[in-house]
Amino acid sequence: MDARWGWAVAGGVVGVVTLVAVVAIEGRPRPASAQTSTTVPTTGTGQPAEPIRTITVSGDGTASGRPDTAVVQLGVQVQAERANAALAAANEKAQQLLNTLKISGVKADDITTTNVSLYPQMASNGRTITGYQASNTVTAKIRDVARAGRIIDAAAGAVGDEITLQGVGFEVDDTGAMRAAARRDAVAKAKAQAEQLAAASGQRVGPVISLSEGAASPPPIAYAAGRSAAPDAASSVPLEPGQQELDVAVTVVYELLAA
């Protein structure tokens, strides 16, 4: 074989081996990074390109809405000399309460028993049992706030002096629209912050690199102070639902460009 051909074949083999080595290096998985301020991508030829500069900002968004659901904690409380008598009386009164709520339009799925108790009543010496106290408490969602006062009155009328009203709260049943508004507000605030920081450093904000949302805080159910006496049946309990707020937090990474 001619010497020139021999060197050409050898050079070809070396070229193939070199090409395979480059592909293997370029195809190796790179470890993920949670957050960086500069990345160095490569071009199609394997040469490093200009580093990507980023800016990370956070924004908190808030939206408010008028509650459309009242959450009422109602119950019964009775006393008797014997434990079984107290429990039986409480059971009867509790059933009257449940029947009244359902007749008034509260769905069974919106009524939840939250407490049932039976305790001995002690004399002043702390050793002698003088009787027993039994109670039964339910939480009811009234999905028509305007009717909540009248429903409370109806329950008090059915149960009588054994009624207990432990608190009334309000909530927004469907927070979808509020959440969407809070997200828009949060992203807008994050972008405004990024633009301020970029302008202060003589640069400008580029496209979004990544965006994440933190846990949103749902509107709290604020319970008003309860009372154990039955309300005056001559007028319904006045209730004001007020406004509820929902908060959303976002973190946005923008590309940072030269001005």
Q: Which residues pair with 138 in a beta bridge?
A: 74, 113
Q: What is the pLDDT of residue 46?
A: 62
Q: Which residue has the higher pLDDT, 10 or 50?
A: 50
What Å distances lie between residue 200 and 17, 195, 197, 206, 207, CA to CA?
A: 51, 8, 5, 15, 18
Within a domain: residue 5? no
Confidence of residue 142 (pLDDT cuts 50, 70, 90): very high
Instruction: Report which listed range, 33-47, 121-135, 229-243, is most confident.
Output: 121-135
- What is the average pLDDT value for the chain, to the nearest integer? 82
pLDDT at 251 over 90: yes
Q: Tell me which DSSP letter residue 110 carries.
A: G
Q: What is the CATH number of the domain that holds 108?
A: 3.30.70.2970
pLDDT digits (tens, 9 = 90+) for 184-239: 999 999 999 999 999 999 999 999 999 999 876 666 665 554 444 444 444 578 88
pTM reported for the whole predicted model: 0.66
Give CB contacts under 8 A, 24+ apart, made by 45-54.
46/22, 52/209, 52/255, 53/203, 53/255, 53/256, 53/257, 54/209, 54/253, 54/254, 54/255, 54/256
- Domain assignment of residue 15, yes or no: no
Residue 230 lies in a domain: yes
Please tell me what DSSP assigns to residue 48.
Answer: B
The owner of tokens 């480059």 is: 22
Check: CB of residue 222 under 8 Å from CB of residue 126: no
Q: Answer whether residue 251 is part of any domain.
A: no
Q: Say how many C-beta atoms besides its own lie within 10 A of residue 190's C-beta.
A: 24
Predicted confidence band at 14 (pLDDT cuts at 50, 70, 90)? very low
In a domain, 140, yes or no: yes
- Domain annotation covers residue 23: no
Residue 194 lies in a domain: no
- 19 domain-assigned: no
What is the edge-to-edge ordering of all strands in the sheet holding 244-258? 38-39, 52-65, 244-258, 203-213
pLDDT tens per residue, range 154-165 = 999 999 999 999
Give the chain's domain count.
Answer: 1
pLDDT of residue 50: 72
Which domain does 76 fall in, by range?
69-172+221-242
User: Quick one: tokens of 130?
Assistant: 């003088």
